[in-house]
Each structure stands twice: as structure tokens, then as C-alpha cells.
Chains A and B, each alone.
Chain A
Amino acid sequence: MSAAFFVFAPGFWDNEAVHIALVIGAAVAIVTGVVGVFTVMRGQSFAGEALGDIGTTGGSAAALVGAGPLAGFVAVDVLAAAAMELVGVQRVRGRDLATGVVLGAAIGLAALFLYLDTTQGADGGSTVTILFGSIFAISSATIPAVVVLAVLAVAMIVLLYRPLLLATVSPEMAAARGIPVRVVGALYLLALALATALAAITIGTILSTALLIGPAATALRLTRRPWRAMFAAAGLGLAATWIGIVLAYDSYHWPPHEHGWPVSFFVVALVFGLYLLSGAVEWVRERRA
């Protein structure tokens, strides 16, 4: 009793904001884990990071017109994924440059929208909320949309699994077998855009990559089988998110101000710690072998 009381600060289980955070956090962690394994295998971490940052443009534009941030993230991320596909993200050569140019333009727009948000008297805290997330401030009305998008993204990966895997490991062999590699890649980019938008509402646009890349990169160090890595990544992401929520709730009683540390900080720190730990596990295994 006393140990449980120490871990879960009073009121943790009765707090509605916490319930919503736990549900949304779980859905998002599972989606990002499943989608992220392919992001890491395909070497598209920069694309994931760029889509996350670009979400800032959508979030700030949504705040400007009074819409919810999720709608903004999804709309702009899907558009940006299409733009990246058009400027050549599917080629290995020069794709970082294409990603970078789209990203730079989008961030410029975000700077303008955030400026207009603050000068036109919309919520002054929207800059920090969009960039670093605020999972405790999500209204329960967002849950259905999150669940629908989450199911959609996971369903895309499940349906695409075999052609996507082959196109990832060996594009030439996939093409020889008649798999439309470019279409598969474009559909994957769409799933990635959905996953990034979901991650952005939980831990913020510029931190969303953590959930996408961290658990997946960790899982791929522990197992070589992609579908196992997906389960492991979803589990690790879920653990990091839930433990992060518990710690953030506890931190309301921590120094220096007793007003709570950001959830995003705990989630990202746990994800990063897990990645380092998996490196140690890998190292020990190699020495034994």
C-alpha cells in the first residue's frame, strides 16, 4: 500500500486528465512503435523528424483559425509528405536535401503563424504547447479521432507489410517481383505522416520523433525480425509514455516550484535511456558470441 502510494501520488487514479492521457498515450505509443520500425529500417529518420517539425506549421495555423491542433497536424503532415514525395524523397541520393528544403520553408511559415497567433491575441502559451506538447490538456472529445487515425495507420502497415518489407530490404528484388516500389513508399510516407501527427499531440511537434525513432531503434537492436521489433517497439513506447505520465504527475510535488515537470521530458528521457541500455545489451551479446 505505502509503496504504491509513493509511486502513484494521491488522486492519480481519479483524475480525468490522467485517464485521457493514459488512453491517448497508449494509442499513440503503439502506432509510433509499429510505424517507426520501418522508418528506422528505411533510414527515413530525417523525414520523420521533418514531418514532426512541419506539424508546427499546422498546429499554429489551426490555432489561428480556432481549430483543434490535431486537425492542423494531420492536414499539414499529409500535405508535406506529398510534397516530399514530389521533390524526390524516394531517392537515396539528395533526399536529405529535399527533406531539408521542404522543412525550412515550413518552419518559416510556422514562424509567421506563431507570430500572428501571439499578436492577434490567441492563447499566448500556444507556442510552447504546440512545440513541446501538453498531454494533460487534451479534451476527451479528441479520443475518437486519435483512435480512428491510430487504427488507420496500423491497418496500412499490416496490409502493406510484405511488399513494404521487401521494398525496404531490397528495392531491386521487389521491383523484379512486380511490386510497385514507389507507390508502396508513398503509402508508407502517408502512414508516417499520420503517426507523426499523433505523436505531436502527445509530446509536441519538435519532440515527436522521440516516440517514432527511439523505441523502434531500441527494438531493432534487440531483435532482427521486423514483426517482433514492432511488438517490442510498441511495448517500449507504451512503457516510456505511461511511466512518463506517472512521473510527471508525481513531479507536481517536486522542487523547485512544485508546478510539475513536463511529461514530454520524462517520455523522451526514458526513450533515450532505453536506447543507450539496448546498446549495452548488444555489446554484451557481441562479446559473448
Chain B
Amino acid sequence: MFSSFMVNAWEVSGIVAVVAGVVGFFTVMRGSAFAAHAIPNGSFAGAAGASLVGVSTLFGLGVFAFIGALGIGLLGRRGRHDAVTALMLVMMLALGALFVSLNTQYAPEVYSLLFGEVLGISSNAIAPTLILGAVCIAAIAALYRPLMLSSALPEVGEARGIGTFAIELAFLGVLALATAMTVPVVGTLLIFSLMIGAPAAARSLTDRPGVAMALSVVIALAIVWFAIGASYETDWPVGFFVGTGSAAAFVLARLWQVGRERYERRRVLGSVVA
């Protein structure tokens, strides 16, 4: 379980979990769940296209993730935002379907791109993942205050001269970058569940944003490492454990939140009666 090729998997997925926890925190806060689903999912086409013309998969993923982010941001200014997101997503996926069908050698890789192949990570994937991850975190750190303000109180942000549209585009850009680095590890369909499940669980446990973000990273790490260990033991796909683990974390956190609220209410009521 801790042999040399598995060490790569632990390290790379650790970086992925940290980025997913931080970027996902803002995704949940801004209510951008659909964009977080659409951008990684659509970037699948980039990987398929890159394989068709023989360039690096990471490059293809990055280019399509940015095209998707730009398309959603720009078309969303005029049309209904969710309809535009859906259309942009299916257009990119359809291109992916075309690339896959044109490339006769590609078919078996479809599955690993969509659902992840964390156990097949080589050691030369560590450096690019680390660099892209650091860029993501740095971008979030640089944008932290305006991003937080425009996510929590868009009107106040606007009044202080923080353009909602500029921030939205910048955030979608970070989302695209996170996508490019995380997709080869957990797959286009599952990075989304990690980005939603862990931060949503964290936000149910605490109201303070800083603590919630840290907690979100911890939960994401726990989910990913549990998934890798379980996948190694059972031979079942990593994606299964990431997807169901994220949902389970959210449900448990919600139950805890509901239970705590009931307890608080009863205590307040009890002190009033007494």
C-alpha cells in the first residue's frame, strides 16, 4: 500500500485535495456548483483532442477549461446563466465525443479520464501538479479579500468598486486552472463532487469562514486518502469512493448541524422555562 508507485498517488492526491478544498470553499460560497461541474466535465474534450493531435493531455485540459470558463462568463452576461452553462458544457462534451470517435486508439482511456486513475500516477506528474496547485492557491490568496466580499455581499463589493463580472471571470479562471491540474488524477466527473461535498460539509460545521476553509481542506484530504486506500484494497475505482465519500461527509455534517441546532434550542427553551 505504501510502495513507491503508491507514494506518488498519496502525494499527488494530497495536493489535489488541498486545492479542491480551498477552491471548492469559494465555489460553495458563491453558489457556483454548476460551473464547478461544467468546467472540469467539459475539459474532457481537451484531453480527447490533445490525444488525437498528439500533444500533452494537461495542455489540452487547460485550454478547454479556459475556453469553457470564458464561454460561461461571456455568454452568461446576456443569456440565462444556468442555461448558458449547460449549453457550453454539452457543446464541449460533444466535441469530446467527436474526438474520441475519430481517434480509434483512445476508447479505453475515456473511462479513466472521466472517472480518474489515481493509481496510475507516475512520479513525473508530481512537479506539474505541485506548480499548478501553488499557482491556484496563490491566485486565491491574492484575490482573497475582494473574492470573499463579492461572494458574501455582492452589493457591498459593487459599491466598493469591485466589479462583480471581473471577479466572476477571475474566479472561473482559477476554477479552470484547478480543473487542469486535478482532472488527470480524479477524473472530470469526480473533482466536482470533492469540490462541493467537502466545503459544504465544512460550512455546516462552523460559521467562521477561515475555520471553514481549513476544515474543508482537512475533509477533502480525508476523503481522498480514504478513497485511495479503499481502492487499493478492493480494486474498485477511486471515483466510487470519492463520490460516495463526499456525499456521506455532507450528509453527516448536516445531521450534526441539525442535531446541534435542536440541542441549542432546547437548552434556550429550558433556561427560559426555568
Give the distance to chain A from B184, nearest Cβ to Cβ, in Å: 16
Chain A interface size, as a band, is 35 or more
Is B130 on the interface with A (CB-CB < 8 A)? no
Is A172 on the interface with B (CB-CB < 8 A)? no
Q: How far, in angstroms, from A213 to B246 measured CA to CA in the complex?
A: 28
- Give residues 235-259 of A contacting B (CB, 8 Å): 256-257, 259
What count of chain B residues pass the 8 Å CB interface test? 57
Q: How far, in angstroms, from A268 to B97 measured CA to CA in the complex?
A: 11
Using A107-B189, A111-B189, A207-B94 as known contacts, say yes or no to A45 and B196 having CB atoms under 8 A apart.
no
Is B128 on the interface with A (CB-CB < 8 A)? no
Give the distance to chain B from A121, nearest Cβ to Cβ, in Å: 15
Is B111 on the interface with A (CB-CB < 8 A)? yes
Is B28 on the interface with A (CB-CB < 8 A)? yes
Q: Is the CB of B79 within 8 A of A217?
A: yes
Q: Is the CB of A105 within 8 A of B236?
A: no
Q: How far, in angstroms, from A265 to B101 measured CA to CA in the complex?
A: 10
Of B86, B192, B239, the most chain A CB neighbours within 10 A belong to: B86
Is B237 on the interface with A (CB-CB < 8 A)? yes
Q: Is the CB of A217 within 8 A of B83?
A: yes
Q: How far, in angstroms, from A216 to B82 measured CA to CA in the complex?
A: 13
Q: What residues of A have a CB within 8 angstroms of the CB of B243 in the complex?
A: 104-109, 111
Number of A-B contacts (CB under 8 A): 185
Q: Is the interface of A mostly helix, strand, loop or mixed?
A: helix
Q: Is the CB of A262 within 8 A of B101?
A: yes
Give the distance to chain B from A263, nearest Cβ to Cβ, in Å: 10
Q: Is the CB of A257 within 8 A of B37?
A: no
Q: What residues of B have a CB within 8 angstroms of the CB of A214 in the complex?
A: 87, 90
Q: How far, in angstroms, from A259 to B110 measured CA to CA in the complex?
A: 19
Q: Is the CB of B197 within 8 A of A104?
A: yes
Is A132 on the interface with B (CB-CB < 8 A)? yes
Is B102 on the interface with A (CB-CB < 8 A)? yes
Is A128 on the interface with B (CB-CB < 8 A)? yes
Q: Is the CB of A112 within 8 A of B236?
A: yes
Q: How far, in angstroms, from A267 to B104 measured CA to CA in the complex?
A: 22
Q: Is the CB of B110 within 8 A of A128?
A: yes
- Give residues 203-255 of A contacting B (CB, 8 Å): 204, 206-207, 209-210, 213-214, 216-217, 221
Q: Is the CB of A48 within 8 A of B190?
A: no
Residue in A43, A53, A101, A127 whose CB lies within 8 Å of B110? A127
Q: Is the CB of B80 within 8 A of A40?
A: yes
Q: Is the interface of B mostly helix, strand, loop or mixed?
A: helix
Q: What residues of B have a CB within 8 angstroms of the CB of A206 in the complex?
A: 41, 90, 93
Q: Is the CB of A264 within 8 A of B94?
A: yes
Of A99, A100, A103, A265, the most chain B CB neighbours within 10 A belong to: A100
| Nearest residue, chain A, Cβ from B242 | A108
Is B100 on the interface with A (CB-CB < 8 A)? yes
Give the distance to chain B from A281, nearest Cβ to Cβ, in Å: 12
Is B33 on the interface with A (CB-CB < 8 A)? yes
Give the distance to chain A from B3, nearest Cβ to Cβ, in Å: 22
Q: Is the CB of A128 within 8 A of B236?
A: no
Using A108-B243, A206-B41 as known contacts, say yes or no to A101 and B197 having CB atoms under 8 A apart.
yes
Q: What residues of A have a CB within 8 angstroms of the CB of B75 in the complex?
A: 279
Is B200 on the interface with A (CB-CB < 8 A)? yes
| Nearest residue, chain A, Cβ from B101 | A262
Interface pairs (20), CB distance under 8 Å: A43-B82, A46-B86, A48-B86, A97-B200, A100-B34, A101-B200, A104-B190, A105-B193, A107-B193, A108-B245, A112-B237, A115-B111, A206-B90, A207-B90, A210-B94, A257-B102, A262-B101, A264-B97, A269-B91, A271-B87
Interface residues of B (CB under 8 A from A): 28, 31, 33-34, 36-38, 41, 75, 78-80, 82-87, 89-91, 93-95, 97-98, 100-102, 104, 107, 110-111, 114-116, 187, 189-190, 192-193, 196-197, 200, 236-237, 239-247, 250-251
Interface residues of A (CB under 8 A from B): 40, 43-46, 48-49, 53, 96-97, 99-112, 114-115, 118, 125, 127-128, 131-132, 204, 206-207, 209-210, 213-214, 216-217, 221, 256-257, 259-262, 264-265, 267-269, 271-272, 275, 279
Which 4 residue pairs of A and B lie closest in terms of their CB atoms, listed nearest first?
A108-B243, A104-B193, A105-B247, A268-B94
